[in-house]
Structure 1
């Protein structure tokens, strides 16, 4: 969208003196902290990461002055120290973050210094993956538009991070959905030591988006306070009044090195460094105040003396603050799950008509959407006319709940999950369900967002919980081949902060999905797609059935051998156990884990103490699969009860082939499970 003229609301002559004084105090306090930060590292006190903002003063002051706490939402990046100060954070709070104290409002010392946040004010915590918070800003803006609030979502970043693919996904999505979000690009010409010419063909990276239909582009001088103030005011006005995105490109200079681990003397000439010092925004603003007789030299010196006192007091208070305790590392890893009073073990004895796995999922989703009107679902190819997802799990939902709660996402897995993260930040009552990809194998582009979201609760020191359920159609036995038949839970389980569930039967699918949607936190919900229509997985499903996380289910009781399994291989294991019983060889106990993270260790150990032999069976590869973790736990905690080595059955260490002959050669089957069990029994 063509850049329109920006009205000049702020000038050196017309801006009230009290406003100018406020700005000068913020500018001087910010610069004093910016210059003092490296000294903490030199004294081994902390602040091991500091990205100085000097040269970005104008635009950062403007961003913060146009942020309205508890109404607007802002996602600052690691160089946004003055932005945070201008938003209302105190010098003491910024130093607490820098030296990683327990009372640091950003993260309690859990996140890198210079990552400033105050979630209770809507100053959001962002990760170190540069630019990824653009997706979160878009997700918040989607919620702002849905709930019809006249506020704005602000995303701030350096120009080099725009090279990231998910930034393009974010801006493309905001443009398509016409969302009230302002993307601020603070352009200082460098990505660490990489000059802008090596990042983009455009001299101004914002112009890469000039062809976007609904996105307005505004350029300003980020070194100049008044130009930045006017540009930010217009950007916010346009985003709110027009409900459309704005890119605000602010030309800045980086007066120092990228960070305290970088040395710009290695790649910047004396002439360039002298130039950026000459264009110091703080110095320019001070000269303007004097030139236009808005302040006297004595008045400015009084403010500067006050600044020194502010910094001294903030330093003293921050140094006296407590450090985090070692024990606190276990706090806020997982958000609080719903506790089921009616079904504490996730079991029932109800009789009646059996429902298929897919029916249980569909009916549970609809029931929960009726129960909580602040529940949303989106994903690829899942809401068009009579189609509801590639497997029709969400069939009929858009017709009942409307296009604003049930809608298609673009073919951009990072965007799907990243905007879920953002939308869940708007209000903790919101629950989001996403089909993270059409098949679990396609989820990998979303892994950056998955990792970020996994530690949001921990990183924010319990201040923000992404209340999201990720549904993935997983596994093989469908002749799908690569990208359609793989298992990924073994890889995901190593990332803390996410519950991973993997039901095998319709009632457990309904119960775990209901628990996921009613709980706080992030849940990965794996659906063995070959069971969607399989009569073997059909069960009676009680109304409002709930299955707590971390509760395994004994699917077959036995005394001679324990099979630990989940998903598709639960049914194969039951068939193998039945065959062994019919042949009089063994009475096998089959434990369906249902929940991998958290894991029901108690149920596993109790069974092993009874049978003394263990066979671990899953569909994923044996090498690197989740069964390796199960074996290690048993070796550490149940070795004295074992009468034989632990055996594992799973896929071969290969991709899953497309040809059915190749698929059968890769995936576990009843015969392999039977033979492995028989070997253990005869051991």
Structure 2
């Protein structure tokens, strides 16, 4: 394919050359104008100039087909975005963060250009993390036999990020049509490339990966870049395999408008990069080869000047974001159950274990919606489904395209879920985020990213993902198999968190999670998977709404608020207190942490006037602290005693059963705390 060099100064049509010169001149005019907005206190407080990347950025946008392809530009991709079709007005609106900014209405950092309706995706400021999204989206392109290619663009220094390696490894392993473009200008802010990697060309770090094609080009040269990008797209389309395009560029300006590159670049280098200005070279070629006269080029430049002036005027009068809108698009509205609006039932059939409720609901939802997928570590085997067999039998019924194993790379699992869900709104994804909740931490970068996608895009993209995590202790698992992380995850807006205690609620919440738009973390108390205490009759169509607690036991002397493993302990303690002391304790099983059923909590507090919060996680900074603070703030006048909390000690969980028992809450600890509170 490399012999098909169809673009050159002589062979390219004049119409096309004219369009390219117009786009490059427009881009450069905006690139140079952007810092003035900050100087005038209008906006554009972050601007990363692209000058010196002109050839490759023009080429990316020109080969991109918004009807079939997908593009993930990075923060320096101004000309890429213009070449892909964004107007001067759309670029400026983003730069000065106006409400009519098509990327997200001023909610994201300036210089993060996007137009989701055209498949130009809104990406994070976490450099290079969109490579994982590109791979996930390419998985959907291949799954649905679409005729598109996914383009992922970034600077060479961001290739040092671990998730970039995960993305490229995954794209080669799954043989996906992704073109990764490395725009190599030699610097990561002030860090020279030699401090990033031993290879002079960072793309060479990936040599040896099967199915991967690497193309090198001069990113300063329009024609070499066009030929490279055309070849890369052709390979990806025809073979459904990934391609890296390594484009050699120069950075003519500083990293951004807050960077002083004179502090780490000498005059010789600064003069060198100016001398190799791609736009000036392209302009000289057009005249030298007599494709254009000087007058024709001056006319195009004058046209661009008027275009920018008109766009500037329009953008200044555009509306600013409304401060009252900050709570809009935090998370989509959830699926609403008509038959079970309170998540309650009177079904008296055979009881099922919690693990059976989960397994049967997963299978039912996969039958209900053929656009449902699940992946994770160790979940797809003919005789096994995950470390606990929650997904047992699913691959046999639904096939390897919908149920499959992922690499041991939690960030890859989470990031590709984000990407694949972008393909269409029908897709529902379930991921086993890690074999144990304790191992989810490598995925946190992608988890945080996914929590604010809906808000950042002003509702243009909703990651419809259920993240399953086997959580908690009481199995003798020690430090890395006993953690509860819901308290940490609950600090991020844009995600729901549920934590069932019984088989019926597990089934009902899982169904609601999968059918809802937006992301839900589904915490599974693994000690209860096969415990008869958690067994319950489960209607086949059962649904539990988010934000609806369940009163497990009614009482008037004390309220215990709990969830997960400790729910059963609290019910047992309440029964014992009734028998021993004649005290009636109300036990509220939250089921849903985010959103939280504050109404049920406050109603119970008003009745009992004493409250104890019990959960398995640590007392210090655990989720119970939020519950306690809410009660103190909203129902202080109803309390006859301070809110009491019971949970784990502020230490890791020991492996020896003696140490585990000393750390985790149990019936005796809950009983003693309840007696103390009742006597207050």
Please state if 1:347 is matched with 2:338: no
Please state if 1:438 is matched with 2:439: no
Q: How far apart are the structure 2 equivalents of 1:235 and 1:448?
A: 29
SS at match of 2:182: strand
1:409 maps to which residue?
Answer: 406
Partners of 1:131 and 1:157 within 8 A in 2: yes
TM-score by length of 1: 0.99
Partners of 1:440 and 1:472 within 8 A in 2: yes
SS at match of 2:536: coil
1:310 maps to which residue?
Answer: 307
* CA offsets 1:224-255 (integer angstroms, 9 cap, x no match): 00000000000000001011000000000000
Shift of 1:583: 1.0
Please state if 1:118 is matched with 2:115: yes
Please state if 1:573 is matched with 2:570: yes
Partners of 1:64 and 1:83 within 8 A in 2: yes
* CA offsets 1:246-296 (integer angstroms, 9 cap, x no match): 000000000000000101100001000000000000001000100111100
2:390 maps to which residue?
Answer: 393
Partners of 1:70 and 1:120 within 8 A in 2: no
Q: 1:269 aligns with which of 266, 272, 296?
A: 266
Computed over aligned residues only, the root mean square deviation of the Cα atoms, in angstroms, reads 0.6
2:674 maps to which residue?
Answer: 677
Shift of 1:6: 5.0
Shift of 1:385: 2.2
Q: How far apart are the structure 1 equivalents of 2:325 and 2:83?
A: 31
2:13 maps to which residue?
Answer: 16
Partners of 1:6 and 1:230 within 8 A in 2: no
SS at match of 1:148: coil
1:256 maps to which residue?
Answer: 253
Shift of 1:150: 1.6
Q: How far apart are the structure 2 equivalents of 1:278 and 1:335?
A: 51
Q: How far apart are the structure 2 equivalents of 1:145 and 1:138?
A: 10
* CA offsets 1:156-189 (integer angstroms, 9 cap, x no match): 0000000000000000000111100000000000
Q: How far apart are the structure 2 equivalents of 1:177 and 1:267?
A: 42
Q: What does residue range 467-546 of structure 1 map to in structure 2 within 5 Å?
A: 467-546=464-543
Q: What does residue range 107-146 of structure 1 map to in structure 2 within 5 Å?
A: 107-146=104-143
Q: 2:226 aligns with which of 224, 229, 237?
A: 229
2:186 maps to which residue?
Answer: 189
Q: 2:217 aligns with which of 204, 216, 220?
A: 220
Q: How far apart are the structure 1 equivalents of 2:358 and 2:414?
A: 20
1:324 maps to which residue?
Answer: 321
Partners of 2:59 and 2:222 within 8 A in 1: yes
Q: 1:171 aligns with which of 149, 168, 171?
A: 168
Q: How far apart are the structure 1 equivalents of 2:514 and 2:626?
A: 27
Q: How far apart are the structure 2 equivalents of 1:324 and 1:187?
A: 36
Q: How far apart are the structure 2 equivalents of 1:312 and 1:545?
A: 60
Partners of 1:6 and 1:231 within 8 A in 2: no
1:630 maps to which residue?
Answer: 627
Please state if 1:597 is matched with 2:594: yes
Consecutive unaligned residues in structure 1, runs of 5 or more: none
Consecutive unaligned residues in structure 2, runs of 5 or more: none
TM-score by length of 2: 1.00
Partners of 2:2 and 2:231 within 8 A in 1: no
SS at match of 1:249: strand
2:444 maps to which residue?
Answer: 447
SS at match of 2:80: helix
Q: How far apart are the structure 2 equivalents of 1:458 and 1:136?
A: 17
Q: How far apart are the structure 1 equivalents of 2:480 and 2:67?
A: 43
* CA offsets 1:542-597 (integer angstroms, 9 cap, x no match): 11110010000001011100000000000010011010011134100000000000
Q: How far apart are the structure 2 equivalents of 1:125 and 1:341?
A: 35
1:648 maps to which residue?
Answer: 645
Partners of 2:89 and 2:311 within 8 A in 1: yes
Please state if 1:44 is matched with 2:30: no
1:337 maps to which residue?
Answer: 334
SS at match of 2:434: coil
Q: How far apart are the structure 2 equivalents of 1:336 and 1:284?
A: 53
Q: What does residue range 19-168 of structure 1 map to in structure 2 within 5 Å?
A: 19-168=16-165
Shift of 1:5: 2.6
Shift of 1:201: 0.2
Q: How far apart are the structure 1 equivalents of 2:249 and 2:560?
A: 63
Runs ≥4 in structure 1, deviation > 3 angstroms? none
Question: Number of aligned pairs?
Answer: 680
SS at match of 1:623: coil
